[in-house]
Structure 1
Amino acid sequence: MISVTILGAGNVATHLFKAFVKAEDVSIKQWFNRSIDAIRSYKNEVEIIDDLSQLKEADLYILAVSDDAISELSSKLPFENRLVVHTSGSASAYDIDKKHKRGVFYPLQTFSKAAKMDFANVPICIEAIDKPSYPLLKTIALSLGSPTKRINSDQRRVLHLAAVFVNNFTNQIYRIGHEITESEGAEFDILKPLILETAKKIQDMSPYKAQTGPAKRNDKKTIKKQLKSLENNTHHQDIYKLLTASIQKTHGRKKL
């Protein structure tokens, strides 16, 4: 049985805990957070602590904390030469204090505490500075039912950047669409089949080939009408212009 300690209490930490509890080959040794109240509801399932000096020996320590906290927290861990990883998509493995065996255990997925998560749909990107640590990290990822990928820091960095575009920015576009429909009392839910079909298409074709719409067609009349509809919200109008220009450039269309 592989023992794991989680440090942090955010979205990633919470979902990792829930997944590890169900894993047959992994046991949660402890769960640390600076504010014990954030994890108090789990006290009957795992030993919870808010004092680093109480950390017990484990096979792996997962720092599921903000990027800015990785370096300081890892330096405060009261031991050395144990395997410590973080879950960040952009921070370097070298941000972890060099007194430890260092690595990255990056679950490439969007996490919200209230949403259920099937780790079969959560690719785990693994990086290990200490090469002998890689098999252990892979075994732990597989215990969650996750697909795994061995990547280097540059690959992880661009994957995280791409994830910001396809997830965070896309979700903001959903929010704008929701706001636009609400402005005239239309139901945003009517768009959900379109959202699902758009995501489904790129399972079988490239985003380039999947592109449709007035910008790709260079439908100038429609573009002008839609820009006029947005004239009371210059922020949305600017986003529309920027994305239209991007599509036109990608597909060789002349700008308006």
Structure 2
Amino acid sequence: MISVLIIGNGNVAAHLVKAFLKVDTISLTQVSSRKLENIPKATITILAVSDDAIETISLKIKNSFVVHTSGSFSMKGLKNTTNKGVFYMLQTFSKEKEVELSNVPFCLEAERDEDYLLLEKIAKAIGKKIYPIDSEQRKALHVAAVFVNNFTNHLYKIGNDICEEYKVPFEILQPLIQETSEKIKTLSPEKAQTGPAMRKDEETIKSHLNLLHKEQQVIYKLITQSIENGN
């Protein structure tokens, strides 16, 4: 039986707790990051807290193996004096939305081989896609994820704003969004690119800019230029 302690009660912690509670070979304990007076012993201690809290909280932990769940925070940023690692799931998590963890990539890192194997074991208990990723690679992955997820979602928000302004249902765009995400499973994003910027259709681009507000124009011009330059 592997004992797992999760510190934190945010979105990532909520999904991990729900998943680990279904695994017979794992004994789970969860504590709030605000209540660290008596930290239970555990084989693996997972800090599912914000990046700016990792150093402070890890300083207080004496358990033998401590990992964090951050995409951008280095493994060496953990301040516990015992063994360190990372248990990063590359996915967007909301408490209100179920996520199928078998589809989620688990990016793992540990100082010692035996600790990595332990992380791999608990990751395989709740998921299927396991990757050995070091801190520098994980930081790059996190930046890439910001582009393909956070920035893309902001563009969805702009698209929704335009639809609302012109009284068009945003749902009309959803099959297009779905097709684009499906297409890049078989084509590289570069080969999947279409649209007026790709065609260098200046008349259409000018027409679009005339329809947009100033803030939207800035984003439209920047992305159009990037596509035209092949960046």
TM-score range, shorter chain: over 0.9
2:193 corresponds to = 211
Pick from 74, 87, 91 the counterpart of residue 73 of structure 2: 91
Pick from 232, 245, 250 the counterpart of residue 225 of structure 2: 245
Per-residue Cα deviation, 1:184-227 (whole angstroms, up to 9, x for no partner):
11000011111010000000010000000000001111000000
Runs of 4+ in 1 over 4 A off after TM superposition: none
Identity %: 51
Superposition map of 1:129-168 within 5 A: 129-168=111-150
For 1:8 and 1:246, the matched residues in 2 are separated by 40
Pick from 53, 64, 67 the counterpart of residue 48 of structure 2: 64
For 1:169 and 1:211, the matched residues in 2 are separated by 17
Q: Tell me the CA shift for residue 26 of structure 1.
A: 1.6
For 1:146 and 1:111, the matched residues in 2 are separated by 18
- Unaligned runs of at least 5 residues, structure 2: none
For 1:24 and 1:159, the matched residues in 2 are separated by 32
- Asked if 2 retains the 8 angstrom alpha-carbon contact of 1:24 and 1:143, the reply is no
Helix, strand or coil: the match of 2:84? strand
- Unaligned runs of at least 5 residues, structure 1: 35-49, 252-256
Tell me the matched-pair count.
Answer: 231
Q: Tell me the CA shift for residue 146 of structure 1.
A: 3.2
For 2:85 and 2:205, the matched residues in 1 are separated by 48
For 1:176 and 1:170, the matched residues in 2 are separated by 10
Q: Tell me the CA shift for residue 98 of structure 1.
A: 4.3
Q: RMSD of aligned C-alpha atoms?
A: 1.2
Amino acid at match of 2:192: A
Amino acid at match of 2:19: A
- Asked if 2 retains the 8 angstrom alpha-carbon contact of 1:105 and 1:127, the reply is yes
For 1:152 and 1:222, the matched residues in 2 are separated by 44
